[in-house]
Structure 1
Amino acid sequence: MQNAKQGDTVVIDYSVRTGDGTVVGDTKETGPQAIKLGDGAIFPQVEQRLADMKVGDQETVAIESDKAFGARREEMVIDIPRQNLPADADPQPGMALQAQQPDGSAVTLYVVAVDEQSVKADGNHPLAGEDLSFDVTLREIQDAA
């Protein structure tokens, strides 16, 4: 039985958990996912492990927060005055907003609190500061052409 290698497309099932065991993503709803090794579609640590696996193998890959979505940065939590939002905006906690940074690049902000004067939004990725654990099962290897 062959191992997966760079350039191959692999079909995997996975479950992603935070350090406290909370499942934050899996393929139960979506079904197995196809990933081309070397395309950067998944964390490099998972990709490296997949390259050593054979069909049917199951592995757990731990990824420390600094190698996942980075450390949580409190300076990324900002207050936005209501007058800076569109008049028809109805922000609610948990809602994602798109904003433009001074350099013109886009950033996603997540609403964490709302009051009459302002909206508190968090520019950190929701998993920033979290160690992650990927449980991966290799289902199929499609050789690179």
Structure 2
Amino acid sequence: MSEQVIGPKSEVVFHFSIKLEDGSAADSTKVHNKPAKLFMGDGSLTDNFEKCLLGLKTGQSKSFDLRPEDAFGQPNPDNIYYLDRSKFGADTPAKVGSIIAFTQPDGTELPGLVREVAGDSVTVDFNHPLAGQPVTFEVDILEVKN
């Protein structure tokens, strides 16, 4: 049986960890021992994360250091909104540090982080929590199907 190499259309089962500069884990599939499953090109990972996987084989482990632009991007000031405090209620209080899911016009939910509460104005950041941060992306390839 030939070794399966990850290509642009592969189905990949893998464990991953995303670590911050200080070495702390931001995310890891190993915590609950539930590997991730990915169809390359399906949009669930950014192009840069997918490029890290191309060419790896079943059984391989690798670590990649990614700049913010190659990982979760830089924070976009257009993703910071100032909302009226009246939009928040008892079930979703406007508290700094709270992550609240906001329903978009198309029905999808988008998580926002409450950054500041000043008077009747609530600042909500819809950038990815890891935006602007360099990360280390560690992968263990468990299975590749082409």
Q: TM-score, normalised by structure 1?
A: 0.77
Matched residues, number: 139
Identical counterparts, % of pairs:
25
Q: How many Å apart are 1:11 and its aligned residue?
A: 0.6
Question: Following the alignment from structure 2 to structure 1, what is the Cα–Cα distance between the partners of residues 55 and 115?
Answer: 41
Q: Which residue of structure 2 lines up, in the alignment, with residue 54 of structure 1?
A: 57
SS in 2 for 1:80: strand
Preserved CA contact (<8 Å) 2:101 2:109: no
**CA-to-aligned-CA distance 1:23-63 (integer Å, 9 cap, x gap):** 11110225111111122222323322322111111111222
SS at match of 1:56: coil
Which residue does 1:94 correspond to in 2?
Answer: 98
Q: Tell me how far 1:86 sits from its aligned partner.
A: 5.1
Unmatched tracts of structure 2, length 5 or more: none
Deviant stretches of 4+, over 6 Å: none
1:74 Cα shift? 5.2
Q: Which residue of 1 aligns with 2:44?
A: 41
- Flag the 1:43–1:62 CA change in 2: closer, same or farther, 3 A: farther
> Shift of the alpha carbon at 1:117?
3.1
**Deviations, residues 114-134 of structure 1 (Å, cap 9, x unaligned):** 466332322322111111211
Q: Which moved more, 1:63-72 or 1:14-23?
A: 63-72
Aligned alpha-carbon RMSD (Å): 2.7
Q: Distance in 2 between matches of 1:96 and 1:79?
A: 14
**Structure 1 residue runs without a partner (length 5+):** none
Q: What is the distance in 2 between the residues matched to 1:106 and 1:13?
A: 26
